A and B are shown apart, each in its own frame.
Chain A
């Protein structure tokens, strides 16, 4: 199983600012994903972080709001830009070796925008 370290674990941010969340994996993985969990809701996929190329975003999520980097097979960042209170959520990084294998998640970043 992969061990995922996500930073920061929580933050309180002012509206209009940006926050970058880091995801570090202890081994090289093919697939990395970013999810959002709004209060009282389940997880929604934001995007697939592709190594060496632009991320693939799901419907309703755009690169200008959620830029993602993936410089190598063990690291990715998600930035939440120009934040508003509606962005208050838990953001989670996930990895999979391939579509048939187990998904592993980081501990999440609890973001509160005031």
Chain B
């Protein structure tokens, strides 16, 4: 059974700092991995999608890497800003079911202080 773990559970940094969020998964048989952002009480905003054959994806100040063989992904945020404060969720698309299932980690709650 696929399990997704995110470390740390919470992180507080000063504005301008570069930071790394970690995601690990137990079964390397995945279609893809996706990073999301969730603001309090809100839905999810997709940040980056990495296919199983890819090593990394970049969007603006965000860079996500994937090492499928070791079951790890990282989300790098450059020059953090207070507006980056949110919970970041990692999810892997598994081979389960007819269409594949998204399995989520519990998230990392990020606070960027001015």
Contacts and interface: CB of A to CB of B under 8 A. Distances in A.
Interface of A: 1, 4, 6, 31, 33, 41-45, 48, 56, 58, 90, 92, 94, 96, 98-108, 110
B43 interface: yes
Interface of B is mostly: strand
18 contacts: A6-B43, A41-B106, A42-B104, A43-B89, A58-B101, A92-B44, A96-B99, A99-B99, A100-B31, A101-B49, A102-B46, A103-B46, A103-B93, A103-B102, A104-B46, A105-B45, A106-B43, A108-B41
Interface residues of B, number: 25
B99 A48 contact: yes
A6 B42 CA distance: 11
B43 A105 contact: yes
Nearest to B4: A42
Interface of B: 31-32, 34, 36, 41-46, 49, 51, 89, 91, 93, 97-102, 104-107
A100 B107 contact: no
A45 B101 CA distance: 8
Nearest to B100: A99
B43 A56 contact: no
B106 A99 contact: no
B102 A45 contact: yes
A44 B89 CA distance: 13
Nearest to A30: B99
